[in-house]
Amino acid sequence: MKTSHLIVLAGLAIAAPAVSQAQVAGSTVLGVSVAELRDVTLGWSAKRQILGRPVYNNMDERVGSVDDIIVTPGKSVTYAIVNAGGFLAVAKHDVAVPVSQFQLNGDKLVLPGATKDALKASPPFEYAN
C-alpha cells in the first residue's frame, strides 16, 4: 500500500513540470516578468499614493482631494476626479481635471492657479450609468 502511494507521488512529481509547461506554452501571460516587476515597483500606486491625497494650488492652499482616476480604453490615465466640496463628503462636488494640469512639488499634488471657488464653479463630474 505504501509503495503504491510512493509510486503515485513520484509520478506526479515527474509529471508536474510538464503540466506546468503545457499550461504556459502558447497561452497569454497574465502577470509581469521579473524585469517588468522592477518598473512596476517604481511607479505610483493609485490606492496608496494618489487616491484620497489632498490637492493644493501654487499658493499652498488645499483646494480639494483626489477621489478617483479615469483610465481610458486606450489604457492611459487622462483625468483625476477631484472633490472640491466640503471635507468628509459633505457638500461633495466632483470635478474632472486633466492629469496634465497637475504638478508634483516635493510630496504634494499641485494644481497651479486653482482655487476652491473656481473648482466649485466647474461643471460637476457624474459617472455614467
pLDDT at 72 over 70: yes
Tens digit of each residue's pLDDT (9 = 90 or more) over 90-111: 678 999 999 999 998 888 999 9
pLDDT at 15: 39
Quick one: 34 exposed, middle or buried, by C-beta within 10 A (0-12, 13-18, 19+)? Answer: exposed
DSSP 61-81: -EEEEEEEEEE-TTS-EEEEE
Q: Can you tell me the distance from the alpha carbon of 78 to that of 100, in angstroms, rounded to the nearest whole number?
A: 8
State whether the Cα torsion 92-96-59-102 is positive or negative.
positive
Determine the average pLDDT of the residues in 48-71. Answer: 92
**Residue 14: how many other CB atoms lie within 10 Å:** 9
Residue 23 has pLDDT above 50, yes or no: no
Specify the fold of 43-121: SH3 type barrels. (2.30.30)
pLDDT at 4: 38
> Could you tell me the pTM of the whole model?
0.66
In order, the DSSP letters of 75-116 are: S-EEEEEEE-S-GGGTT--EEEEEGGG-EEETTEEE-TT--H
pLDDT at residue 97, rounded to an integer = 95
- Which cell goes with 73? 480604453
Among residues 82, 102, 107, the alpha carbon closest in space to that of 92 is found at 82
Residues 6 or more apart whose Cβ sits within 8 Å of residue 124: 93, 94, 95
37 pLDDT higher than 50:
yes
